[in-house]
Amino acid sequence: MADELDDIDRRILRALQRDASISIDVLAEKVHLSRNACWRRVKRMEERGVIRGRVTLVDPAAVQLDLSVFVLIRTNAHEPSWLKAFNLAVRDLPEIVGAHRMSGELDYVLRVRVSSVKDYDRFYQKLISRVPIADISASFVMDDIKDTTELPV
């Protein structure tokens, strides 16, 4: 699907990743297309699933979610029932903003947003009460050097 994108599509995607709220007129001007041609390209990329949605990025500090935590998980359980319980817990716990099944020594890495270490402990207690975990550790982010949602298209 990405191979089917031409340079104009990629320029549209770069512009929308920076600011999805711009009007189609402004977008068309930025990518040097007519309004209708630009609109058709955006719609085509939405229909093909290249553009999955448009969101508002919220400043975590503005909503008192200053603490970013990477939670590293190893499990001894790999049966379908454990995986189902884990997936449900991940979906149900709003503090989890990213969850990834890994290759290598770790089984899962979670990205969690909370307001404090105390709130992280409450999250931790909720998680381990829902699914047994062999080993869990947390790394607290001290400084965000780069944190972007933009893909290098």
Architecture of domain 2-47: Orthogonal Bundle (1.10)
pLDDT of residue 1: 57
User: Chain-wide mean pLDDT for the chain?
Assistant: 96
User: What are φ and ψ of residue 55, in 5° steps?
Assistant: -130, 165
Is a pLDDT exceeding 70 seen at residue 3? no
pLDDT of residue 71: 98
pLDDT for 123: 98
Q: Label the pairing between strands 67-74 and 96-101.
A: unpaired
Q: Is pLDDT of 2 > 90?
A: no
pTM for the structure as a whole: 0.89
Nearest by Cα to 73 from 147, 118, 131: 131
| Contact predicate 93/120, CB 8 Å | no
Among 85, 148, 82, 137, CA closest to 112 = 137
Q: Position of tokens 């829902």? A: 130
* 68 Cβ contact list (under 8 Å, min separation 6): 60, 111, 112, 113, 140, 141, 144
Give tens-digit pLDDT for 127-136. Answer: 999 999 999 9
For the packed helices 7-18 and 24-31, what is the interaxial angle rounded to 10 degrees? 130
CB 65 within 8 A of CB 113: yes
Contact between 67 and 116 under an 8 Å Cβ cutoff? The reply is yes
pLDDT digits (tens, 9 = 90+) for 64-108: 999 999 999 999 998 999 999 999 999 999 999 999 999 999 999
> 133 forms bridges with which residues in the sheet?
none
Quote the percentage of the chain above a pLDDT of 70: 98
Among all chains, which residue has been given the structure tokens 């190893």?
Answer: 74
128: tokens are 């381990």
pLDDT the model gives residue 44: 98
> Domain limits of the chain?
2-47, 60-140
What b-and-e string marks burial along 52-70, b requiring 16 or more CB atoms within 10 Å of the CB?
eeeeeeeebeeeebebbbe
pLDDT band at 26 (very low <50, low <70, confident <90, very high): very high
Please state which architecture CATH assigns to domain 60-140: 2-Layer Sandwich (3.30)
